[in-house]
Amino acid sequence: MSRLVWDTASERFFEQGVDRCVLYLNGADGVAWSGVESLSESSSGSEPKPYYLDGLKILNLSGFSDFEASITVLSFPKEFLPCCGISEIHNGLYASGQKKVSFGLSYRTLIGGLLNMETGHYKLHLIYNALATENQVLNLSNGKNTSGLRRTFNLTTMPASITGFKPTAHLIVDTRYADPLKIQSLENILYGTEALAATLPTTDSLITLFGS
């Protein structure tokens, strides 16, 4: 046994960005999503629920949380339009106010360190059964300091079943601790190869991959 040590430089990590966002629609190949500026994660429903007996707190149980997110983009692929409730009638002709399509996402958050800003490590995030809501689009007249229109979509999810655990819509793979060969296999699935299209693996197939 040894005494605990704080602030070891080689163990001080932080997350420093988001990249390689991919959109997945049911029955379609994954599509690279360029133009993602930021992606924030949150949850709802996880507030502790206290129980009292004779005026004394006897339990403080954690609630089941639902994954939510907010994504701000400068652009999005054409394939995302049905997720916004916009359907194509004919080439170039669209109708808004249609039924929205659910989708999946994958993206990376990069991991930096105190000794090296670019450690080469990252986390892979896999999002299942998401629905997008956009509250407002503000179109401004061009001026001297015109900048690109940023659009923000709030995402809610439906948890996917996962054997042995509670359903979840958010799985995370940390390359600092995972087998590099399994990371490569997963990225071949997520991003595609010369022979295979990009797809979002099911939760159980992902568990099988990393447990094999």
pTM for this entry? 0.86
Place of tokens 């799985």: 171
Rounded to whole angstroms, the Cα distance separating 92 from 169 reads 33
pLDDT of residue 194: 93
Q: What are the b/e assignments for 106-128, b being 16+ CB within 10 Å? A: bbbbbbbbeeeeebebbbbbbbb
Spans of the chain below 50 pLDDT: none
Cβ atoms of 48 and 60 within 8 Å: the answer is yes
Residue 65: predicted pLDDT: 79
For 6, residues 6+ apart whose C-beta sits below 8 A from its C-beta are none
Convert the pLDDT of each residue in 106-131 to its tens digit.
999 988 876 665 668 899 999 999 99
